[in-house]
């Protein structure tokens, strides 16, 4: 199993891209602006998109993907998300006002997009790849994901703040190898992190203290303009876990 980071920033500018990951050649984990760096031929191969939540930095490329390659494909792209997230996408994005409803194009029987509801804790298996939604605590309905190849697992928290239910699930993952966790704000913005249900470095350290299994830890969703400061504070607050900054184009094989 091969996971390539297409985007891992909390914003845009220069070479920064928002959250998106390519699993093998045919599956996206979130679909932020980083998807736009793929070639059209690569985009046409994407069959599945697993969405953590409905915020634009995680879904902005889904409309363009459907519009760009829908006519090249002989089957719909499947968007896997919770019922709440699917409802938001239908009402607020694919509503003919912001973007056409590609679940009805060219017609309802032969759509470019289709939706598949995922449920917290229920594993979806696709060609030997096991994707399990995990608890997240955010301002909109949200999940994280466990991606399990059988040999090893990678956990992506998605956007979340303090989240005891997540750690109960993560501590049950007996083949955990990688943990990708967000830290969106620096410590001076802790109040904003709490209000927006994200993490800052001091909160990250409190969360990592609940982790009972060894893992390589990577930090994502850093805000442009605060990357160096926030990572310096991460290293100060959470040094014992040896966290590293997630990098654009980084590849995990597991």
Rg from Cα positions in the chain: 18
pLDDT at residue number 109: 95
For 172-212, how does the pLDDT look when each residue is reduced to its tens digit (9 = 90+)? 999 999 999 999 999 999 999 999 999 999 999 999 999 99
Instruction: Return the sign of the alpha-carbon dihedral for residues 227, 218, 35, 195.
Output: negative
- How many percent of the chain have pLDDT more than 70? 100
Domains defined for the chain, CATH in brackets: 2-253 (3.60.15.10)
pLDDT digits (tens, 9 = 90+) for 101-125: 999 999 999 999 999 999 999 999 9
pLDDT, position 164: 98
Strand 48-50 versus strand 77-81 pairing type:
parallel
Once rounded to an integer, what is the mean pLDDT over residues 130-146?
98
Residue 39 has what pLDDT? Answer: 98
pLDDT at 171: 98
Give the pair of three-digit tokens for residue 3: 């996971």
For the stretch 239-254, pLDDT in tens is: 999 999 999 999 999 9
Instruction: In whole angstroms, give the CA distance from residue 152 to residue 170.
Output: 13
Q: What is the pLDDT of residue 69?
A: 98
Of the chain, the percentage scoring pLDDT greater than 90 comes to 100
CA 137 to chain centre: 14
Sign of CA dihedral 180, 184, 190, 192: negative
Q: Evaluate whether 191 touches 219 at the Cβ level (below 8 Å).
A: no
> pTM for this structure?
0.97
Residue 94's pLDDT band, with cuts at 50, 70 and 90, is very high
**Residue 170 tokens, joined:** 């993560």
DSSP state of 85: H
Query: 249: which 2 tokens?
Result: 């184009």
Q: What's the pLDDT score for residue 7?
A: 98
pLDDT digits (tens, 9 = 90+) for 31-80: 999 999 999 999 999 999 999 999 999 999 999 999 999 999 999 999 99
For residue 43 the two structure tokens come to: 């985009």
């Amino acid at each position: 199993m091969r996971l390539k980071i297409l985007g891992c920033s909390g914003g845009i500018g220069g070479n920064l891209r928002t959250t998106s990951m390519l699993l093998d050649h045919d599956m996206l984990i979130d679909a932020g602006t980083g998807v736009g760096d793929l070639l059209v031929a690569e985009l046409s191969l994407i069959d599945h998109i697993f969405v953590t939540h409905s915020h634009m930095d995680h879904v902005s490329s889904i409309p363009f993907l459907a519009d760009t390659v829908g006519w090249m494909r002989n089957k719909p792209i499947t968007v896997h998300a919770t019922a709440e997230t699917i409802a938001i996408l239908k009402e607020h994005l694919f509503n003919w006002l912001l973007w056409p409803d590609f679940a009805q194009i060219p017609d309802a029987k032969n759509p470019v997009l289709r939706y598949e509801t995922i449920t917290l804790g229920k594993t979806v298996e696709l060609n030997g790849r096991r994707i399990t939604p995990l608890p997240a605590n955010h301002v909109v309905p949200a999940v994280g994901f466990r991606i399990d190849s059988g040999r090893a697992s990678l956990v992506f928290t998605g956007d979340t703040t303090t989240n005891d239910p997540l750690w109960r699930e993560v501590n049950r993952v007996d083949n955990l190898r990688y943990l990708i966790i967000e830290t969106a704000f620096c410590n001076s913005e802790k109040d904003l992190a709490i209000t927006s249900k994200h993490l800052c470095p001091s909160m990250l350290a409190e969360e990592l203290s609940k982790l009972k299994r060894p893992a390589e830890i990577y930090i994502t969703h850093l805000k442009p303009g605060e990357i160096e400061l926030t990572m310096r504070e991460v290293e100060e607050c959470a040094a014992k876990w040896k966290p590293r900054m997630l990098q654009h184009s980084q590849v995990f094989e597991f």
